[in-house]
Structure 1
Amino acid sequence: MFPSAAGPIGVFDSGYGGLTILKEIRAALPEYDYIYLGDNARAPYGTRSFDVVYEFTREAVKTLFERGCHLVILACNTASAKALRSIQQKDLPGWDSSRRVLGIIIPTVEALGSITKNGNIGVLGTPGTVSSGTYDIEIAKFFPQFRTVSVECPMWVPLVENREYDSPGADYFVEKYVEELFAQEPDTDTIILGCTHYPLLIDKIRRQVAGRATIITQGELVAASLREYLARHPEMDAVCTRGGNCTYLTTENPDKFTALAGTFMHTPVRAEHVTL
């Protein structure tokens, strides 16, 4: 059904945010080849239902497999929360049981034990990620003694994608959501930025948090986890090609994607259009 030859590592996101994950993965593992796929035409996923996110993510993963990927990273918290388990359990056995799809939530959660001092964890995420309860569930599995509070931040992704993350409006909404979190749990000492867009707001978030908590961005954690995964699974490492190349695909206008992607990657990007 899919090409059997070795191929690139696939990285999928509903839009641009996954580029913050790809950037750190490429910094940590520059020798590999990558395909990034952004479903920008149907973004954002954060307010969509479980069924819709699953179907959209399933189409994207299938497209990356058809382009030669044996391993796909869902560099999207909403897709990881709403679609990952279904794809792993329902689709991979019928498609090709040797291929793998991994998410970014578990690598983030696993790191908490070495970061928090008091076990009070805050999650700032999209409505879809927060309503899924995935962070609460996974944190309770790994660290049942921890307490988790979550806040939906529906305005942060639009601010980033409309390049308003340096605006006074961004200041207002950063203050609003951060203070809402501390109002729920004043002793929060670790905050997960549960959306890959949010690192573009990191300076404002840090100023608002003002040393009250450690802020976790996901890129470095996911990159380290992927390095460890490939070391533990030489059979998967063997089917990932190494040429240092990266292809960018988008379901939107490629010129629009190219213009904004450079903001995330801090380097020029050229994208191709793809239909899912």
Structure 2
Amino acid sequence: MKIGVFDSGLGGLTVLTALTRALPSQDFVYLGDNANAPYGWKAPTEIYELTIAGVERLFREDCGLVILACNTASAVALHDLQVNWLNPAAHRVLGVFVPVIEHLTRRDWGDNTPPTHTGLRDVALFATPATVRSGAFPRELHFRARDVTVAPQACTGLVEAIEAGDLDRAAEVARDHVAALLARLPAPQSAVLGCTHYPLVEAAFRAALPSATTLVSQPELIAASLGDYLKRHPRFAGGTGAVRYLTTGDPAIVGTRAAVFTGAPVAFEAA
């Protein structure tokens, strides 16, 4: 069965790359909502409506399972989507926060026991303004881990620089945001790259953070988590390794810009 991968733009390609590497025989359909990117500045109601539209489009491609490879959509829209809109008997939609929080707390998502001391102390979160405003990441973390400080940093301008292909500028923006966060939290134990665009400038984050800080990037965690999920839900697994790329933007322009993420242009189709 095909698995959909949805993102507001091209950042989800970092997740898709990890997924295809970990699950080479799985079929995937990628959808970038490039016509409406970026989501980071949009109102929650608009993010929810755009996310629903993207998920519905992937359902029409016969995707039984959709991964929201967009932290903003996961933070702002996923809960209401799952509770108030989705028919879980027919389809499933998963976000990208769960694998990171499981990794940080060493607790399974289904563990609903009270929060415990996990050894986790100070966590820096680098994310889009909408993800930070949602408060979803610290809320879910505090459900599982006690006495943890989360310092969020809204990384304005970073997604835009990456989508434009200006990685030198993006690295400079990343370093500026690390400096702003360290002024508030000088020695974070862990730092989370809470946007799937950010792995493209992971080296800039790593160099700017203290050497003792553990840097958590999402793609490999998401791939491992999906592999475990498919073992428990094998009806979504299988295929021939086929991958299609859809966009709400101009396929030629988007395909060319995708080379920043994939190393070569990608043949996108109009969604």
User: Tell me, what secondary structure is at the counterpart of 2:86?
Assistant: helix
What is the aligned partner in structure 2 of residue 41 from structure 1? 35
The number of residue pairs the alignment matches comes to 260
Greater mean deviation of Cα atoms: 101-110 or 228-237: 228-237
Query: Structure 2 residue aligned with 1:260, among 248, 257, 263?
Result: 257
Q: Does residue 62 of the first structure (1) align with residue 56 of the second (2)? A: yes
Moved more, 119-128 or 177-186: 177-186
One-letter amino acid matched to 2:83:
Q
User: C-alpha root-mean-square deviation of aligned residues, in Å?
Assistant: 1.5
Query: What amino acid is the match of 2:59?
Result: F
Cα deviation, residue 208, structure 1: 1.1
Structure 1 residue 117: Cα displacement = 5.8
Identical positions, percent: 40
User: Whole-Å Cα distance in 1 between the matches of residues 83 and 48 of structure 2?
Assistant: 12
Separation in 1 of the partners of 2:83 and 2:103? 25
Name the counterpart of 2:123: 121
**Counterpart contact for 1:9–1:69, Cα < 8 Å:** yes
Residue 136 of structure 1 is matched in structure 2 by: 138
> What CA distance in whole angstroms lies between the structure 2 residues aligned with 1:82 and 1:203?
28
Q: Is structure 2 residue 100 aligned with structure 1 residue 108?
A: yes
CA displacement, residues 184-233 of structure 1 (integer Å, 9 cap, x when unaligned): 11231110001111111112111111414111110000000000011112
In structure 1, the residue matched to 2:241 is 244
Partner of 2:113: none
**Partner AA of 2:57 in structure 1:** T
For 1:94-136, what per-residue CA distance to the aligned partner results, in whole angstroms no more than 9, with x for missing partners?
xx6331000001111110135x965211100000000100111
Indicate if the aligned counterparts of 2:72 and 2:130 stay in contact, CA closer than 8 A: yes
Q: Is the 8 A contact 1:32 1:245 kept in 2?
A: yes
Alpha-carbon distance in 1 for matches of 2:92, 2:72:
18
Counterpart amino acid of residue 37 in structure 2: A
Aligned position for 1:4: none
In the alignment, structure 1 residue 161 sits paired with structure 2 residue 163? yes
Q: Given the two structures, how large is their TM-score scaled by the length of structure 1?
A: 0.90
Q: Aligned ranges for residues 24-103 of structure 1 at < 5 Å?
A: 24-93=18-87, 97-103=89-95
Rounded to whole Å, the distance in 1 between the matches of 2:99 and 2:120 is 20
Separation of aligned partners in 1, 2:72 and 2:16:
17
Task: Give the match's secondary structure for 1:243.
Answer: coil
- Residue 206 of structure 1 pairs with residue 206 of structure 2: yes
Residue range with higher mean Cα deviation, 196-205 or 124-133: 196-205
Equivalents in 2 of 1:212, 1:176: separation in Å? Answer: 19
Aligned mates of 2:234, 2:15 — CA distance in 1: 23
Q: Please tell me the residue identity of whatever aligns with 2:173.
A: F
Residues 174-193 of structure 1 correspond to what in structure 2 (within 5 A)? Answer: 174-193=174-193
The change in CA–CA distance for 1:75 and 1:159 in structure 2 (over 3 A counts) is same
Aligned equivalents of 2:233 and 2:171: distance in 1?
44
Q: Please name the residue that 1:3 is paired with.
A: none
C-alpha distance in 1, partners of 2:86/2:49? 14
- Aligned-pair CA distance for 1:257: 1.0
CA positional deviation for 1:243: 0.8
Contact 2:2–2:236 (CA<8 Å) still a contact in 1? no
2:262 maps to amino acid: M
TM-score calculated relative to the size of structure 2: 0.91
Q: Indicate the SS of the match to 1:242.
A: coil
After TM superposition, give the deviation of residue 165 of structure 1 in Å.
1.4
Aligned-pair distance for 1:171?
A: 4.5
Structure 1 gaps, min length 5? 1-6
Q: Conserved in 2, the CA contact under 8 Å of 1:20 and 1:219?
A: yes
